[in-house]
Each structure stands twice: as C-alpha cells, then as structure tokens.
C-alpha cells in the first residue's frame, strides 16, 4: 500500500482552493453606496424572487431567508463549479460533499479512483439530503473550511 504514503505527500494539492486575497479593511463610514443598478422589476423589500446568479442552473422553487444563499441572499458566486454527492447534512447549513477523481498509477499503467471530501454551504431552499448529487460553486470563504456553496440539487444518484 505505497499509494497511501504517496497520497499523504500529494494531499495538500487537492485542498479546497481558497482565495489568498486578504479581507479588505472596511472604513468606519461605509463606502459611498454604489450607483443603484437600473433594476426596475424587483423591489427589495418583499420576499423577492430568486436572483440571477449568472450560472445556468434552475432557481429553487422555495424561498429562504439565508443571507448566504446565492439566490435569496447576497452571496456572490465565482470561480470553479464542482459536482459531488452529499454525505452528511448534520451541520447547520453546511454539508459534506464527496467527490471522486481518478489518478494515474504509472507502475501499473492504470487509474485508481480516489475520493476527497469537502464542506459546502447549503442554503435551506435546496432541501438537501444525503445521497443527493449536487453542483457546487466557489464563493468567498464563509468560514475557515467553507468556500463553496451548493447551487443545484440534482436529486438522488441514479
Ligand atoms: Zn435560498
């Protein structure tokens, strides 16, 4: 089982990509409010329609009040889009997602399948459960270990 030892060496490479940029210091007086976008049809106060996150995924049918929901909150998504399967939903608004990838073993000229787990923020409007295939999208770091958010629930794995 030399692969296990090797895996440890190469492990950090796969760690969740994080934006190295430091948090911008916020001046005491909030910066001048950005010029209001000429968005006519969406008044801010009412339980708003899900906003367009710029990614081609269906918008959730249910509303939610999660501030970190890309559709109903203010969280912007950018960067990588990943797919995986939910392993556990026991945390509050955070899920464990498992992803498979294959790695070439030179000696045997074959591929082996490996898995890596990562944490992702789970907006309540997506009603996620273990076994669901999901699409993740990178976002700003929401915590030390969470910098992805679930944007699409593809349902139970076929
Ligand atoms: Zn939502």
Q: How far is the CA of 72 from the centre of ligand 1 (A)?
A: 4
**Would residue 29 count as lying in a domain?**
no
Structural domain range at position 68: 59-158
| Total number of domains in the chain | 1
* Cα 156 to middle of ligand 1, angstroms: 20
Q: What is the three-class DSSP state of 120?
A: strand
C-alpha 138 – ligand 1 centre gap (Å):
16
Give the dihedral sign, CA 44/60/70/88.
Answer: positive
Q: Is residue 141 part of a domain?
A: yes
DSSP assignment of 35-52 equals PPP---S--SSSS-PPPP
CA of 78 to the centre of ligand 1 (A): 17
Q: Which CATH number characterizes residue 89's domain?
A: 2.40.50.1000
To which residue do tokens 């008044």 refer? 43
* 47 domain-assigned: no
Distance 29 CA to ligand 1 centre (A): 30
Please report whether residue 13 resides in a domain: no
What secondary structure, in 3-state letters, does 139-155 show?
ECCCCCCEEEEEEEEEE
Residue 28 falls inside a structural domain? no
Q: pTM for the complete prediction? A: 0.67
Whether residue 98 lies inside any domain: the answer is: yes
CA of 151 to the centre of ligand 1 (A): 9
Whole-number Å distance between alpha carbons of 85 and 1: 27
Q: How far is the CA of 73 from the centre of ligand 1 (A)?
A: 7
How close is the Cα of 47 to the center of ligand 1, in Å? Answer: 11
73 in a domain, yes or no?
A: yes
Give the pLDDT of the chain (158 residues) as one tens digit per residue.
455 545 554 445 554 555 556 665 665 555 555 555 555 555 555 566 888 889 999 999 999 999 999 999 999 999 999 999 999 999 999 999 999 999 999 999 999 999 999 999 999 999 999 999 999 999 999 999 999 999 999 998 55
140 is a domain residue? yes
């Amino acid at each position: 089982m030399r692969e296990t030892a090797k895996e440890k060496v190469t492990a950090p490479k796969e760690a969740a990509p994080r934006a190295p940029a430091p948090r911008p210091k916020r001046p005491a007086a909030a910066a001048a409010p950005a010029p209001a976008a000429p968005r006519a049809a969406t008044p801010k106060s009412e339980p708003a329609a899900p906003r367009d996150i710029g990614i081609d995924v269906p918008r959730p049918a249910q509303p939610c009040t999660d501030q970190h929901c890309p559709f109903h909150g203010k969280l912007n998504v950018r960067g990588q889009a990943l797919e995986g399967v939910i392993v556990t939903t026991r945390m509050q608004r955070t899920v464990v997602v498992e992803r498979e990838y294959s790695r070439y073993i030179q000696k045997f000229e074959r591929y082996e399948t490996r898995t890596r787990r990562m944490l992702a923020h789970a907006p309540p409007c997506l009603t996620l459960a273990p076994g669901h295939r999901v699409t993740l999208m990178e976002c700003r770091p929401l915590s030390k270990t969470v910098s992805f958010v679930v944007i699409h629930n593809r349902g139970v794995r076929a």
